[in-house]
Structure 1
Amino acid sequence: MTANPWLVMAGALNAAASVAHLAIIAGGPRWYEFFGAGPRMVSLAEQGSPKATLITLAIAGVLAVWSAYALSGAGLIPRLPLLKLALAAISAVYLLRAVGYIPALYATGVPVGVFAWISSAIVLVYAVAHILGTLQLWRT
């Protein structure tokens, strides 16, 4: 069986995002700010609150699990439970984040900066990789 290239890419992207979140914790408040965390998260990091670290660790953990699901769908690691359903849900979350983030910011009156546009474009790449890989897997 040949590995599903879209899900290999999706797994690598998820793993990179997970590691990036760990690096943000290590980098401290300026890293939170640079990578687009909201002012509240930046403030928590500046205060040395464990809440910022715990939230960021949780995000890194979710992304690591999503990486495992993508790599499982690619056939590189053993099959995980509810694989197709999980990959469809992950695809939907990424797509919703990619197309819904900027409208949500506008709706709440939050200024839409360059970070919002760049991060939405990046997440759209994640969504496309997951969607195409999941569709390919679903056909098999």
Structure 2
Amino acid sequence: MVISGKNKFLILGAISSASAALAHLGCIIFGGDWYRFLGAGEQMASMADNGDWYPTIVTSVIVLVFTLWALYGLSGAKVIPQLPFLKLGLLVISFIYLIRGVAFVVIMPMFPENSSTFWIVSSSICLGIGTLYSVGTFQNWSTLRGKANV
């Protein structure tokens, strides 16, 4: 769906990535209760409650990644100027979201504290966002600059 030169799928993907960044920023600001609510597990929540630096560092990196992905979505949608390696970036973002959405069974054992509800909800969200990025990237492929001319 492209209206007035702006790709709504990539805009929605960017809004979703920005929302994920804000939710993770909330964990840093509001602490353990937010980590628990978002399913990060009791260990991360307890570390945050105890003032440990580890949850803040890890979560800050996640915030930065989601923010960068939001910017790439907006760039691909032609809302902001085109970023470097835009085609490759959108392909990688789409791939990561889609893989996270379908391959959660493989990574579940690495995070035993997370509930089945967490995995189903978060994986569904990732699959949805990955679909937005994929469809939007496909629609705008011929007008995007950057590497990955496949």
Q: With structure 2 as the length reference, what TM-score do the two structures score?
A: 0.85
SS of the residue 1:123 aligns to? helix
Ranges of 4+ aligned residues in structure 1 off by more than 6 Å: none
Q: Does 1:7 align with 2:10?
A: yes
Identity within the alignment, %: 38
Moved more, 32-41 or 93-102: 32-41
State yes or no: 1:64 paired with 2:67.
yes
Aligned-residue RMSD, C-alpha: 1.7
Structure 2 regions of 5+ residues with no counterpart?
144-150
More helix by share: 1
Separation in 2 of the partners of 1:104 and 1:93? 13
- Quick check: 2:48–2:55 contact (8 Å CA) kept in 1? yes
3-state SS, counterpart of residue 77 of structure 1: coil
1:92 matched to 2:95: yes
Match of 2:28 among 6, 25, 30: 25
Segments of 5+ residues of structure 1 without an aligned counterpart are none
Asked if 2 retains the 8 angstrom alpha-carbon contact of 1:102 and 1:112, the reply is: no
Distance 1:77 1:29 in 2: 35
Other structure's SS at 1:43 match: helix
Q: Distance in 2 between matches of 1:108 and 1:53?
A: 20
Residue in structure 1 matching 2:122, options 102, 112, 119? 119
Is this contact kept in 2: 1:4–1:75, CA < 8 A?
yes
The aligned length equals 139
**Can you list the C-alpha shifts for 1:34-77, whole angstroms capped at 9, x where unaligned?**
10103332232122111111111110111001000000000000
